[in-house]
Structure 1
């Protein structure tokens, strides 16, 4: 089966949430549907999905954002059935292409500790590892 990358559409919501759940990206403190709604309000053109050409079934996703200083990647996922077939790589490349077209000079992402397989994937795409400490503060509770 072949697949392609396209912009997210509102009717993709349930399939994308199911993909994120399968990939282990959801967390109890984040409502993925609210994350999608928030993204649709800010740079929706940077929310991408990979779909099977014949069925339009969702097999991958990535959210990107650009704040004028750097770009970010979030929610990169490939369906288990499509891992190792270039889906995630194509999603990252398309997100990078769209960020570059916006004048974005640098893109970053966060990887949870212990997720060495994912770090190896990004190494293969030319991403540079560096040590930082992240801090955060929730401004709106989803639950």
Structure 2
């Protein structure tokens, strides 16, 4: 699998992948998230591509100056378990390290035990924090 930033021609495929693996939510505009990440200097969406050029995996990565964040880690369902997500996470970590950001974080829904186990196997640990948020409806 080759990993590189998404091309605009792959945006629809990325959103379709996110929908296929249930990462999207009706209250979030996944396409807008992708577009913002690709436009900003402090974020990108990495794509995992087969030799044929087909997009089979994604990970959105960015930083706020202190910590890196990872979102939308997805692998085509029939290719899960082949190490693609692990490769993408290592690419995200490298992206963050290249920018001299001291830590990397991600959020996983508490009920998603399998995914939590995956990240724990990569060395990620639960943080003793409460995430608070506020949505703007404009």
TM class, shorter-length: over 0.9
Q: What is the aligned-residue RMSD (CA, Å)?
A: 1.4
Q: Is the 8 A contact 2:61 2:70 kept in 1?
A: yes
Describe the SS at the equivalent of 1:6: strand
- Give the secondary structure class of the aligned counterpart of 1:46: strand
State the distance in 2 between where 1:71 and 1:45 align: 9
CA distance in 2, matches of 1:43, 1:133: 28
Aligned residues between the structures: 138
Q: Which runs of 5+ in 2 are unaligned?
A: none
Q: Name the counterpart of 2:74.
A: 77
Give the Cα separation in 2 of the matches to 1:44 and 1:16.
20
Runs of 4+ in 1 over 6 A off after TM superposition: none
Moved more, 24-33 or 40-49: 40-49
1:107 aligns to 2:104 (yes or no): yes
TM-score when scaled to structure 2?
0.94
Q: Post-superposition shift, 1:140?
A: 4.8
Instruction: After superposition, give the CA deviation of every residue in 1:14-47 in whole Å (9 maximum; x if it has no partner).
Output: 1001100011000000111111111122137631
Q: 1:78 to 1:44 in 2, by over 3 A?
A: farther
The range that moved more, 122-131 or 87-96, is 122-131
Instruction: Tell me if the contact between 1:61 and 1:77 (Cα under 8 Å) persists in the aligned partners.
Output: yes
**Post-superposition shift, 1:139?**
2.6
Larger mean Cα displacement after TM superposition, 130-139 or 29-38? 130-139
Say which structure, 1 or 2, has more relative contact order (CA 8 Å, 6+ apart): 1
Query: Unpaired segments of 5 or more residues in structure 1?
Result: none
